[in-house]
Amino acid sequence: MIHTTVFASALTSVPCWLINEGQVSYAVALEVQRRLVQEHRENPDLPDVLILLEHPPVYTLGQGATLDFLKFDPMVTNWEVHRVERGGEVTYHCPGQLVGYPILNLRRYQQDLHWYLRQLEEVLIRALAVWGLQGDRVSGLTGVWVEGRKVAAIGIKVSRWITMHGFALNVCPDLQGFKEIVPCGISDRPVGSLAEFIPGIDLDRVRPVVAASFAEVFGVELIASAWPK
């Protein structure tokens, strides 16, 4: 069981900066990620980073995503839409969803993208277990499901073994925005949230649990840090 007030793994003292933010526009967060990745490529000795935040309503598409999974025309809409360098299809971010952006040098862990994806899933599975929820994997797909409902999406980009983008955990969001897309290109599996299983849950309760789970899975010590200027 993960203790929600402890962010460090007992087995290591490898530092990782933890940046806890509230609601940040997608464009601003993307610019910060890209800048951090560049800094870590230029100086691989910099500590890793985990950013936890929320976004205002926004749709994002992976670099190879098809527009067929949008139920609206992105050229004539009031929705904010971004095509970015991560893998995967279209997804939706909004308040009440905890988004995590790890900036990790995988040379410190394993230089294996499949391993990294499974580790991100494991972070969320262990976090859900704190509330007695069983997080499941689905063979051939990426993400985490609870009772057949997808509660977490994952999409990453890795450049010279430095990671960006990450995971989105539906804690207590308004799920209506997902009706405008085929989430992650999966039409036969519904999207869900933790609030459907744990009434009254909010991000303030989930943030420290996810942080502690991340520290445990990756074997790091999380050190509180400010939003990059």
Q: 195: helix, coil or strand?
A: helix
Give Cα separations from 91 to 51, 86, 182, 183 (angstroms).
19, 11, 8, 5
Evaluate the CA torsion angle 98, 7, 159, 46 in order and state its sign. Answer: positive
Both structure tokens of 24 = 């940040």
Concatenated DSSP letters of 204-215: HHHHHHHHHHHH
**Using an 8 Å Cβ cutoff, are 203 and 23 in contact?**
no
DSSP letter at 177 equals G
List the structure tokens of 68.
């067929």
Q: With the CA atoms of 108, 83, 54 and 127 taken in that order, what torsion angle do they form, in degrees rounded to the nearest 10? A: -50
CA distance 181 to 185: 8
**Active site includes 16?**
no
Residues marked active site are found at: 184
